[in-house]
Amino acid sequence: MRNAAILPVKSFAQAKRRLGLELAANDRRALVEAMFADALVALGRVAALERVIVVSGDHVAQRIAAGYGANVVEDDERGHNTAAARGIHFALEQGIERALLVPGDCPMLAPRDIEALLAHPGGARSALIVPDRHGTGTNALLLTPPDVLAPSFGPDSRRRHMNDAQANGVPAEVVELDSLSLDVDTPDDLEALRRRLVGTHGGAAHTRGMLGQLMRARA
């Protein structure tokens, strides 16, 4: 089966404003860039992914994506779900049969977890939902075919995706993956990421380096 990962990426300058009390604007941007690079590195190591598709209107994000060999789709910044839909449309044009929607702010993303998700049993029509660490959001969505379900990310999206799947007769399942559970939106998320990095070795090299640099600057 032809698989692709799709990453809708918000403008770096507008990203992570809820971290404003923790990090200055330039520091937030640098952290977002580092997390995005780590996600691209991890996805690039998954042999089963034929393509990585980045949907963004941010020119820096586009350059980073191209540098890692990703396809770039221009976005008009009308929201995460609109960007995801653009990525799905592009994937279908390329003959992709299954799409993995993932965020660019999960720096702990492990290739082995993506490989396990892609190997998870599923039918010709299915949706696999990977929740966030709180159990209410959606940090990844594996759709077969790519347009089997309309992406509906945002607060309480795990329940919404399950309900939408049921309403459309799409077999759906929640699959928990540790490395995809932690996205970074709030100060609590950032602290959880710091603890995770201290407790692990390897992976997320860009994010490790950037957080270390930011911490030294604040010392």
Tell me the C-alpha to C-alpha distance, in Å, between residue 184 and each of 52, 192, 212: 21, 9, 16
What is the pTM assigned to this prediction? 0.94
Tokens of 194: 């710091």
Q: Which amino acid is at 50?
A: E
Contacts of residue 201, defined as CB under 8 A and 6 or more positions apart, other chains included, come to none
Query: Under a CB-based contact definition with an 8 Å cutoff, are residues 52 and 40 in contact?
Result: yes
Written as tens digits, the pLDDT of the chain (219 aa) is 999 999 999 888 777 777 876 778 888 889 999 999 999 999 999 999 999 999 999 999 999 999 999 999 999 888 999 999 999 999 999 999 999 999 999 999 999 999 999 999 888 999 999 999 999 999 999 999 999 999 999 999 999 999 999 999 999 999 999 999 988 988 898 889 999 888 888 789 999 999 888 877 765
- The amino acid occupying position 87 is G
Chain center to CA of 190: 16
Encoded amino acid at 200, one letter: T
Write down all domains in the chain, each with its CATH number in brackets.
Answer: 3-218 (3.90.550.10)
